[in-house]
Chains A and B, each alone.
Chain A
Amino acid sequence: NPAFTVDLNIQAKQAHTSEDGQQLCLTWPDGHRSRFSSFWLVEHSEGRKEASRLPVEQRLWKSDYYNSMARFDFETLMIDDGSLLEFIMHLDSCGLVLVENVGTAVKEVRRLCERISFPRPSVYGHDVIKVEATPNPSNLAYTGLGLPLHTDVPYYGYVPGIQIFHCIQQPPGTGGMSHFCDGFSVASKLRDTNPAAFHMLSQYAIQYVDAGKDFLDFSMESWHTPIKLNRLGEITAIYFNNDVRGSHYPASLNGRLLEWYEAYYAFSHLMYAPEFLIEFKLEPGQMVAFDNQRVLHGRSGFVLEDGHYRYLEVAYLDWDETRSKARVLKAKINADSNVEQ
């Protein structure tokens, strides 16, 4: 523990560079020696961007993304490490990917989660969550209603980072279409075109709540800014769900509530603009995986005729384990192909 063993005013007694310049050796006053490779020194001398994201470029997208959306084959993902790494990198970079040829067996979402780490438990289920219309629903998802664009469960402090849907049964017709938009893309546009609204939504935390009985009896509450910024002003998350927005608002908005609603409306409308919204019908055997702190999802309503069903299975993952898996895969693939690091 340097706080107990290293003097703040310590000075190296001697510095010695190897002949090829690849190594630096420092001798300390107590005789201890430290060796540093020049590679390490270069790597560490400039500081880093302070985020745990994977080293991939963040790619914002708009409504034309559907045609170029990354698609993966399920069985290949399950056995090929290169494919899995690419899947996770795409998820970190774009936030929305499609998986095909999953088939219609149950609990396939769990298999995919376990391939990465494990499904993240929540009040809706220990691993797999079944999405189908039920009487006395604990959540509006379990009805035939359309769902506006939202991110899941923002009433968690630790909002599940990744959501995976597996479509198992889908009724014919135009009901039950899936909607998505890139919340970062929409928020960026809002920042450019309506800075006052952007300020309102990124500076004032609002209440999200939900209570009910599902896998567990629950009474959740959390406060988030709908648009989350880091210290440097970069957009790092979107927490947006009209259904579970609480009735409490921050005291700092007293007298400015109407301004806040203007900002909220502006953001809500912008998400649905043709520029940003994508809409498609998930087919049985398809999975969609997305960043639940960036991409908003919704659906159009549906009416089930006799003999028709709509059944999806959902699971969550967290980014800590998912990024860990990507780093491990990258190191393994690099080692396997003998690439010098």
Chain B
Amino acid sequence: MSCNWLVSKLCRPGFASLQLTRLSGRRPSQLCRSISLMPVGSSSRVVSVELKERDLFINWNDSSSVDLPYVFLRDNCQEPVSFDQSAKQRLFNPAFTVDLSIKAKEVDVKEDGRQLVITWPDGHQSRFESAWLARYCRGKSSLSGRLAVEPYYWGSDYCDKMPRFDFNKLMTEEDSLLEYLLKLESHGLVLVESVGTESRQMKKLCDRIAFPKPTVYGFDVMKVESKPNPSHIAYSGVELPLHNDFVYYDYTSGIQLLHFIHQLPGPTAGASRFCDGINVAQELRTRNPAAFDMLSQYPIQFVDVGTDYIGDYDTESWHFPISVDKNGDVTGVAYSNHSRGPHFPSLLMDKLHDWYAAYYEFSHLMNSRDYLIEFKVQPGQMVVFNNVRVLHGRSEFKMTGNDYRYAELCYMDWDEIRSKARVLAKKLSHIY
């Protein structure tokens, strides 16, 4: 497997030293830090090697050096007999064919340091481009499949800064589509305009990327309109507090699309509300580390029971209200007061008052003036957002006369969004 676009991004002479713009005073992303540690470039050349007992010692032309275990090199041999060129998959199981104490018999530096040829005891030869070695010889700090874009955290002044896209361009121009996918990753909330008011337009955009995510609520596009007997409070006119959808799913839907077709008159009735949950969580960590710990160390229960398109459903999941990865970065939030289940983890039972205090503080913060945005999505517009980062809600409304509020809704998952972005970036040789 080789992602040429990423190699070409890294191919600048010497070490990549990125000036990290600190947006909203937040910590720079881990990925940018890791790039600065790697020797980069098509100019990477091997000056010399030394065959040690268990490692190959490589001296680079920039004076850095590295020890690479032979086991690793044999495991990652890129020759067709070891690595299927069509399926892009490893063809053998090293645990059954490679001795842990394997040592290279001979290593030749070729092509002025741009290639290494390793001859193994059984006669097999592996060729490695120095660019490949430079890329893989030190581990990565950023351990996720997220797209390598700097996150942009936002607050109450986001409306003017929200990226906007034209639906027709998204449907016909691949660089527009790639930009859309990258902004979804970095910003978490974007607006798509000129969608029109035809039903099921969002499905076209989802199919262009991959497919809508089917769930117990619907196979693809769902309707949000007032109903006489609501099976879910989203269908009535009450205020919907800020929340994430699908917190009662282990596989919480990653992206939500909301396309407005009919909207109520007036400046505020049925307006949409959002906040950047990760930004709020980071602020909470600064203000009240104990509350942050409460919400990031104990998962809580979410449930939803009802009937919809596939019949009855009874879903349950447990999530940390604030998710933190091994590097200490906040990676997501799970918040939905109306889906929060009645059960708590056993270990939390004697700390419930502290838990509620933390929960209340988080709730107040996300609704505060610094973080909450509110605007009316007009007919023909579509909001698209990261459902594990951005919380959404709605102001209350009363319907009279011929008023009608109708939107369509569907979901996608991040695996498919990120996959499409990578495919497009490679196709367009896009460096971002």
**Which A residues are within 8 Å of any B CB, using their own CB?**
1-4, 8, 44-52, 117-118, 120-121, 123, 126, 136-140, 142-143, 145, 148, 155-158, 205, 207, 209-212, 216-223, 231, 242-255, 257-258, 261-262, 264-265, 268-269, 318-321, 323-324, 327-328, 331-332
Contacts and interface: CB of A to CB of B under 8 A. Distances in A.
Given A139-B87, A157-B414, A158-B414, 20 more contacts: A3-B360, A4-B363, A8-B353, A48-B301, A49-B345, A50-B300, A138-B87, A205-B143, A216-B419, A218-B419, A222-B145, A242-B93, A242-B94, A244-B89, A247-B76, A247-B136, A255-B67, A261-B75, A268-B96, A320-B251
A3 B415 contact: no
Contact of A118 (B75, B96, B219, B348): B219
B136 A140 contact: no
Contact of B251 (A121, A158, A231, A328): A158
A114 B199 CA distance: 26
Contacts of B54: 258
Interface stretch (B281-289, B315-323, B371-379): B315-323
Contacts of A324: 216, 313-316
Interface stretch (B21-29, B105-113, B164-172, B336-344): B336-344
B84 A257 contact: no
B158 interface: no
A334 B175 CA distance: 55
B311 interface: yes
Nearest to B138: A254
The B interface, classified by DSSP as helix, strand, loop or mixed, is mixed
B347 interface: yes
A50 B301 contact: yes
Contacts of B84: 137, 140
B419 A123 contact: yes
B325 to A, nearest CB: 9
B91 interface: yes
B349 interface: yes
Contact of B415 (A51, A158, A244): A158
A157 B415 contact: yes
Given A8-B360, A50-B299, A250 B423 contact: no
A142 to B, nearest CB: 8
Nearest to B362: A3
Contacts of B301: 48, 50
B346 A47 contact: yes
A96 B349 CA distance: 35
A52 B316 contact: yes
Contacts of A157: 145, 413-415
